[in-house]
């Protein structure tokens, strides 16, 4: 036997092993970036807050923009109409008064050719329309002639009018004691003799109040129109954005597994959105094809590398067992080669498990099983392999219809981790319970625990909390990624609670019935 043993460690064997390991590692890092290969289940896309007052949303911006322009447009038209109506009203009356004011001295002069001044003034005043009040005031504020209509108006208003000192030369509308009056005053000169001031007043309160009421109505109608328009605009924009929302809904349901079959089919969408959907479909089928090729490659390479590496591992172990003539350095190198080869084989096995987990939707085989038995079997195997005490606590017999292989793999990984990351004298407790629809499996350990900031990331591919520690325990950072992928492929959920130095608890919730 001895003569077959090499005196020196065969260099080519070591080189082959390291080369194979490096190849596997490079390949894994290249083809399996931690964040690109995600689970086979559609990932959970957090819904963006889509409510009316999300100022960043297109719907909100379009609605506010279009409504603002409409409000400005309608408001502008309404204001312009009110202003124009007011102007027409005022112009009509002021033109009338202007005409009277211009004619008055001429009339007085004509009458004065036949009558005394006082009578001429009165005749000219009486000639004016009854709704225009006229009085003539001397420089001493003495009223020498006035309209007869003054007798019919309230004394207070009469006093108020007579007491007005400053009146405009050009007719203007004033509000005097809740009445709207067109006022004007001018010097009255007849035959080059200044008699005083002729003052004219026309009461337009009725017309002004009617105009005010019309404008009030116009304002209410404009307001109602704005509200109605805003509602119609909001509804129309929401409806127009529906195809885009549909695209994001479809996109959120597409998983890595159905990339190539995924299709964004939109009926009655605008041409631009249809074009976008077509381009997305083309992109999806390209991505699907390359994802499929990549997955195929992962499976093939893992498989191809595992066999020669297993042979290498066996050979190295054989050399170690029989290599009594190896010096210390050779022993050390051989030990390193064996442990690295073992790690690489584990990595390849995990990759194969992951590829299988990614495909678990396709290869699922559901059967009805007694969970207590399955857990007990897996616990026994782990106890044997890891030399740990595992206690199983269950609320009676728990039956469920599920995929046995996937569930075994989940339990194996969780129990393996619990054993790896807790001291051997601490127990691991598996608790099983069941509600009407769900089965709960909790794996609790009293080990080193996980820091809160790491807990989110431990389910990522190739993520290890502490590389040195995981290396020592033989982990490659894929165990929990496989568990998560499998749990989600079985429509379940996984959560973790952990406190550093107090231990960890992984809770898996699975439906009692697997629907595939």
Site residues (vs ligand ADP, CB under 6 A) = 417-418, 421, 445, 447-450, 458, 463-466, 470, 475-481, 504
The nearest distance, CB 444 to ligand ADP, in angstroms, is 9
Helix (H) or strand (E) holding 381: helix 371-386
In the bound state with ligand ADP, the residue whose beta carbon lies nearer, of 208 and 485, is 485
In 113-199, alpha helices (H): 117-127, 155-162
191: left (phi over 0), alpha (psi -120 to 50) or beta: left
d(CA 187, CA 283): 89
The nearest distance, CB 432 to ligand ADP, in angstroms, is 18
d(CA 110, CA 363): 118
The nearest distance, CB 49 to ligand ADP, in angstroms, is 32
Query: How many contiguous H segments (helices) and E segments (strands) does the chain have?
Result: 14, 12
The nearest distance, CB 62 to ligand ADP, in angstroms, is 46
In the bound state with ligand ADP, the residue whose beta carbon lies nearer, of 196 and 479, is 479
Number of C-beta neighbours around residue 405 at 10 A: 15
The nearest distance, CB 506 to ligand ADP, in angstroms, is 7
109: buried, middle or exposed (CB in 10 Å: 19+, 13-18, 0-12)?
A: middle
In the bound state with ligand ADP, the residue whose beta carbon lies nearer, of 28 and 233, is 28
d(CA 248, CA 97): 71
Instruction: Give how far Cα 165 sits from Cα of 51, 83, 159, 168, 170, Å.
Output: 63, 29, 12, 10, 15
Strands (E), 388-456: 390-394, 399-403, 428-434, 438-445
Q: Residue 437: how many CA atoms within 13 Å on its side-chain side? A: 3
d(CA 353, CA 330): 34
In the bound state with ligand ADP, the residue whose beta carbon lies nearer, of 243 and 479, is 479
Residue nearest to ligand ADP (CB): 475
User: Quick check: 298 and 33 in contact, CB under 8 A?
Assistant: no
d(CA 463, CA 460): 5
In the bound state with ligand ADP, the residue whose beta carbon lies nearer, of 375 and 448, is 448
The nearest distance, CB 21 to ligand ADP, in angstroms, is 17
In the bound state with ligand ADP, the residue whose beta carbon lies nearer, of 244 and 481, is 481
In the bound state with ligand ADP, the residue whose beta carbon lies nearer, of 323 and 475, is 475
Compute the Cα dihedral for 2, 7, 12, 16 and give only its sign.
positive
The nearest distance, CB 299 to ligand ADP, in angstroms, is 20
In the bound state with ligand ADP, the residue whose beta carbon lies nearer, of 79 and 470, is 470
Residue 387 token pair: 């030399």
Paired sense of beta strands 143-146 and 132-137, if any: antiparallel
In the bound state with ligand ADP, the residue whose beta carbon lies nearer, of 187 and 389, is 389
Is 406 strand, coil or helix?
A: helix
The nearest distance, CB 53 to ligand ADP, in angstroms, is 41
In the bound state with ligand ADP, the residue whose beta carbon lies nearer, of 29 and 278, is 29
The nearest distance, CB 329 to ligand ADP, in angstroms, is 30
Is 252 strand, coil or helix?
A: helix
In the bound state with ligand ADP, the residue whose beta carbon lies nearer, of 243 and 447, is 447
The nearest distance, CB 449 to ligand ADP, in angstroms, is 6
In the bound state with ligand ADP, the residue whose beta carbon lies nearer, of 222 and 344, is 344
The nearest distance, CB 333 to ligand ADP, in angstroms, is 25
d(CA 177, CA 155): 13
The nearest distance, CB 470 to ligand ADP, in angstroms, is 4
User: Quick check: 491 and 516 in contact, CB under 8 A?
Assistant: no
Strands (E), 78-212: 132-137, 143-146, 172-176, 179-190, 193-203
């Amino acid at each position: 036997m001895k003569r077959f043993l090499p005196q020196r460690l065969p260099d080519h064997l070591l080189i082959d092993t390291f080369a194979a390991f490096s190849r596997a590692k490079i390949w894994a890092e290249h083809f399996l970036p931690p964040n690109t290969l995600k689970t086979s289940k559609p990932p959970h896309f957090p819904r963006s807050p889509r409510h009316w007052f999300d100022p960043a949303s297109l719907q909100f911006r379009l609605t506010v923009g279009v409504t603002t322009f409409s409000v400005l447009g309608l408001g502008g038209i309404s204001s312009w109409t009110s202003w124009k109506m007011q102007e027409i009203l005022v112009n009509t009356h002021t033109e009338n008064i202007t005409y009277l004011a211009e004619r008055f001295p001429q009339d007085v002069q004509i009458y004065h050719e036949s009558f005394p001044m006082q009578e001429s003034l009165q005749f000219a005043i009486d000639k004016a329309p009854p709704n225009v009040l006229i009085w003539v005031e001397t420089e001493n504020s003495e009223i020498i002639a006035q309209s007869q209509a003054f007798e019919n108006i309230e004394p207070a208003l009469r006093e108020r009018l007579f007491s007005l000192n400053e009146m405009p030369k050009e007719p203007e509308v004033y509000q005097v004691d809740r009445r709207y009056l067109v006022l004007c005053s001018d010097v009255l000169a007849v035959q080059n003799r200044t008699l005083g001031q002729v003052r004219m007043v026309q009461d337009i309160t009725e017309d002004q109040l009617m105009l005010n009421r019309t404008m009030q109505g116009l304002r209410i109608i404009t307001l109602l129109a704005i509200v109605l328009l805003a509602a119609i605009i909001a509804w129309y924009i929401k409806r127009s954005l529906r195809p885009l929302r549909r695209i994001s809904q479809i996109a959120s349901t597409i998983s890595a597994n159905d990339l190539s079959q995924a299709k964004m089919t939109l009926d009655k969408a605008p041409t631009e959105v249809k074009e976008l959907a077509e381009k997305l479909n083309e992109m999806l089928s390209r991505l699907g094809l390359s994802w499929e090729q990549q997955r195929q490659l992962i499976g093939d390479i893992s498989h191809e590398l595992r066999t020669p590496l297993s042979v290498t591992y066996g050979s190295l172990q054989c050399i170690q067992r029989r290599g009594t003539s190896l010096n210390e350095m050779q022993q050390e190198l051989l030990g390193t080669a064996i442990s690295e080869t073992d790690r690489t084989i584990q990595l390849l096995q995990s990759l194969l498990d992951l590829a299988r987990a990614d495909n678990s939707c396709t290869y699922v085989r559901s059967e009805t099983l007694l969970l207590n038995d399955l857990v007990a079997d897996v616990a026994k195997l782990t106890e044997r392999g890891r030399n740990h005490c595992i206690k199983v606590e269950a609320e009676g017999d728990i039956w469920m219809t599920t995929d046995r292989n996937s569930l075994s793999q989940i339990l194996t990984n969780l129990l393996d981790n619990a054993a790896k990351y807790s001291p051997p004298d601490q127990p691991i407790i598996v608790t099983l319970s069941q509600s009407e629809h769900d089965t709960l499996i909790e794996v609790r350990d009293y080990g080193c625990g996980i820091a809160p900031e790491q807990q989110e990331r431990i389910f990522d591919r190739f993520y290890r909390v502490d590389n040195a520690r995981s290396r020592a325990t033989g982990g490659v950072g894929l165990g929990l990624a496989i568990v998560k992928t499998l749990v989600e492929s079985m429509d379940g959920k996984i959560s973790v609670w952990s406190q550093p130095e107090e231990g960890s608890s992984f809770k898996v919730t699975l439906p009692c019935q697997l629907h595939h």
